[in-house]
Amino acid sequence: MSVMASYQTQALEMKQHGIYVAFDATQVIFSGPDQTRVVRAVVDGEADYGLVRSDLLWMMQAQGVLNVSDLHVVNGVSGVSFEGKEFPYPVTGKIFPGWPFAALRHVDRAVVQKVAMGLLKMPSSHRAVVQGSYGGWLLPSTYTPVRNMLEHLSMIDGDTFTCKDLRSSYLRLDCPPKTYKLPERDASDGCAMAGIGCPESSECWCSPCRVGQQVQVLPTTLKKLHIGETAACVKMRPCGRAEQGSFQTFSVIDYGGHGHFNVTFKMHGGSEQEKVDGRCWEAGIRGWSCEFSVSSQRRGNHIIEIFNGEEQIVASPILFNVVSRNCSFAGLGRQANHIGDCVCGEGYVGLNWFCLSHMQVFILCVLLCMCAGAAYVGAIP
């Protein structure tokens, strides 16, 4: 499924009833221009439902390759009138005008009129009509409903009325409100991750729509988890952790395709820092990705404000937790102080580069006294 008669019209009908193919279906399969593959997949139990032209089932039945009674037309309505004539097949939803025969502006007007008159006079028994499996030609209908449908499905720009680049089947998928659509490269392995196979010569998408915010912040240690679920930072909740003096890197990912991102951040914790720029790049067909790293010598939670331009993103601010530095490398008894320096801890005394416990100091003093006493006794004439 991919074109108007085998996806767009049905997608619009479902959307008007609160059903979004990309969100409500476990898997969406674009099988290419041969719509009989869709029918066979449903008949063979490889798909639960399929989207095809209204006349295809009866054409296949006439060819003896299908029994229409074996299938169920969802919400099928018969006897629908279109431009004063009864439509011959059951349909699911509204009927739209068929393919128009158009001419470019440079074509001579006389040629356009001659071709148009020839098509209008073509009888239903004409060889071209029979081979094309259609009923004939009529004066063109208004295509405003088609434009409205494409705009409703986000397939054209509503401001400029220009078509979007839909060469990728992924760009035809529409997500419901309060969800965001993953960038294509992040969604491409969705079916494989879910353990669902994809038929040969098809494009398959599984769970490309996610519930959540379109702009998310993720610690790099969690970046490889299921993006959009538990990995994302939550406003004013601890997110990310590092030792004193170590760096934690965060990724800011824009799934909404809002245009160029200009991420800066500001961290508060003891002393306020100036805004610092993050590093941003374009992340595939949709969206942007940015990274920034933070570090502090002071233990505790630090507030990080994240901006796109002059405005804070929805998930900002977040809390960054700084824990004590691991000083085991510096020797026994050392621990980090409030600014991350490895010093002798409580109960230890510094002696040159060593930290000695009180018991060790006592034993050392006893040994030194014994050695000094022995040396004094040995020195008597």
Q: Tell me the Cα Rg of the chain.
A: 35
Question: Strand pairing partners for 335?
Answer: 343
The string of pLDDT tens digits covering residues 203-241 is: 999 988 877 667 788 887 644 433 334 468 888 888 888
Closest C-alpha to 268, from 294, 250, 292? 294
User: What's the token pair of residue 119?
Assistant: 């098509």
Which stretch of DSSP H or E encloses residue 110?
A: helix 109-120
Average pLDDT score over residue span 20-29:
92
Query: How does pLDDT run across 285-304, given as a tens digit for each residue?
Result: 445 778 888 888 888 888 88
Helix 9-16 to helix 144-152 angle, to the nearest 10 degrees?
60
| pLDDT tens string 264-284 | 777 876 554 555 667 776 655
pTM here is 0.58
Length reported for the chain: 381
pLDDT of 108 strictly over 90: yes
Q: What is the pLDDT of residues 167-206, one digit of tens each?
A: 788 888 888 887 878 778 778 888 988 899 999 899 999 9
Does the pLDDT of residue 53 top 80, yes or no? yes
